[in-house]
Amino acid sequence: MKKILEAILNGATSEQIAALPLPDTYRAAHVLKSDEKMWEGVATQDRDPRKSIHIGDVPMPEIAPDEAVIAVMASSINFNTVWTSIFDPVSTFGPMARLGRESEWAKRHDRDYQVIGSDASGVVLRVGSAIRNWKPGDKVTVHCNHVDDQDPSSHSDSMMGANQRIWGYETNFGGLADVAIVKANQLMPKPAHLTWEEAAVSALCNSTSYRMLVSPNGANMKQGDVVLIWGASGGIGAYAVQYVLNGGGIPIGVVSSPEKAAILREMGCEAVIDRKAANYQFWKEDGTHNEAEWRRLGGDIRKLVGEDPDIVFEHPGRSTFAASVFVVKKGGTVVTCAATSGFMVEFDNRYFWMRLKKLIGSHFANYKEAYEANRLIAKGMIHPVMSQVFTLDQVGEAAYQVHNNLHEGKLAVLCLAPEEGLGVDDPELRAKVADKLTWFRR
């Protein structure tokens, strides 16, 4: 890998990069099938990613005709890194075994280890024989929608594909490694004004928020919409805030500390609720709902912006879902992509049907949506929300921070990049947006 890295840092040509031999093994953050049962009897919150994420060499797989090998300069931690490492709600070896039964090439994914990670920025090292649009040396970011493009159900909206999967979560050969194997239709141009680590943190969360709010497949937000955003300084929330502001909407950001509230204000989000200070108790101790507390949240929203939300950007799940359904405006939309606090949600259906509300399930983004979201980053209209940078050896610690909500925004991971700050090709655009690139830096 040393020669490959030297070539990249020295600006080698496409031909020079294509001529470099690939290593037989590469360094990767991975989980082991033999650890699958290690957390049995341990509460979800007490499961420690530092104990289940291993860093070590794994074999280099052969690539399929529609795939590319990427030298990963940087990657990022997503919440799915946490889910994989705590084997909850399911072990990801199940989905990979099912994938392995789909084709000869897919068999490669079904191994006794899984290289994790669903984001990457880097350089194309090799392309399979069927690839037309990319070549060795191209600087790229990678989105995580792993789609079988020979499946008719993948066309019109590839998130509808019968066997659509999330790369590095439901597949092997993910991005938290020195090398990643991806399908050509996961590739997007690297935003030229960003460093490798800044370019690595956005694709998963940014694309998810784009689909949830901007795309007609999601809430299809319009100018003036009031949008309540849970976890507004977290991974997806911090991109959601930017989309609402860019689209002429009015964000109300919910966070859990004065420090996080200060970040939101710096981003231009004027209406902020500190849920810890407000101490909402949406659930009573006996496990029933506390409607008075939904009303208190609704009252706080009205005090801040004078009206009810047109859209609620929902992902905490069980703890907040009923409140989200209650506070959204008559005819408004709750759009959800997750359930961090529990997926068996309950809400009072009377407030839902009598007030003609809508509920939209959303999951990642199709290639077009991810490409549009990446384009907005490349134009300096949406900004990466990176707060800290870790090394590949520290992936367990970084995932621990996300699992315990000790972080803000996105945590980047340097893979091949030897230090922070490399990879900028457009210093002029960088200078124009410089103040926005430090919103989350501590």
Residues that bind ligand NDP (CB under 6 A): 78-80, 204-205, 208, 230-231, 233-237, 254-256, 260, 275, 315-316, 319-320, 337-338, 340-341, 363-364, 402, 405
Parallel/antiparallel/unpaired status of strands 410-414 and 67-77: antiparallel
Q: How far is the CB of 269 from ligand NDP (least distance, A)?
A: 13
Residue nearest to ligand NDP (CB): 234
In single-letter form, the type of residue at position 126 comes to R
Cα separation of 416 and 439, whole Å?
A: 25
Nearer to ligand NDP, 185 or 336 (CB): 336
What residues contact residue 86 under an 8 Å CB cut-off, 6+ apart?
A: 39, 44, 47, 49, 52, 403
Cα separation of 331 and 318, whole Å?
A: 22
Nearer to ligand NDP, 79 or 390 (CB): 79
Q: What is the DSSP letter of 62?
A: P
Q: How far is the CB of 427 from ligand NDP (least distance, A)?
A: 30
Please, how many CA atoms are within 13 Å of residue 350, restricted to the half-sphere of its CB? 1
Nearer to ligand NDP, 20 or 382 (CB): 382
Nearer to ligand NDP, 109 or 410 (CB): 410
| C-alpha distances in Å from residue 128, one per residue of 63, 145, 173, 184, 219 | 7, 18, 16, 9, 37
Q: How far is the CB of 209 from ligand NDP (least distance, A)?
A: 8
Parallel/antiparallel/unpaired status of strands 386-391 and 410-414: parallel
Please, how many CA atoms are within 13 Å of residue 381, restricted to the half-sphere of its CB? 12
Nearer to ligand NDP, 105 or 371 (CB): 371
Q: How far is the CB of 81 from ligand NDP (least distance, A)?
A: 9
For tokens 């000869």, what's the residue?
Answer: 104
Q: How far is the CB of 202 from ligand NDP (least distance, A)?
A: 11
**Per-residue tokens: 229:** 């955003």
C-alpha distance across the termini of the chain, in Å? 31
Phi and psi at 6, nearest 5°, equal -55, -45
Cα separation of 146 and 165, whole Å?
A: 5
Nearer to ligand NDP, 165 or 260 (CB): 260
Nearer to ligand NDP, 246 or 319 (CB): 319
Q: How far is the CB of 83 from ligand NDP (least distance, A)?
A: 6
Q: How far is the CB of 237 from ligand NDP (least distance, A)?
A: 6
Helix, coil or strand: residue 364: coil
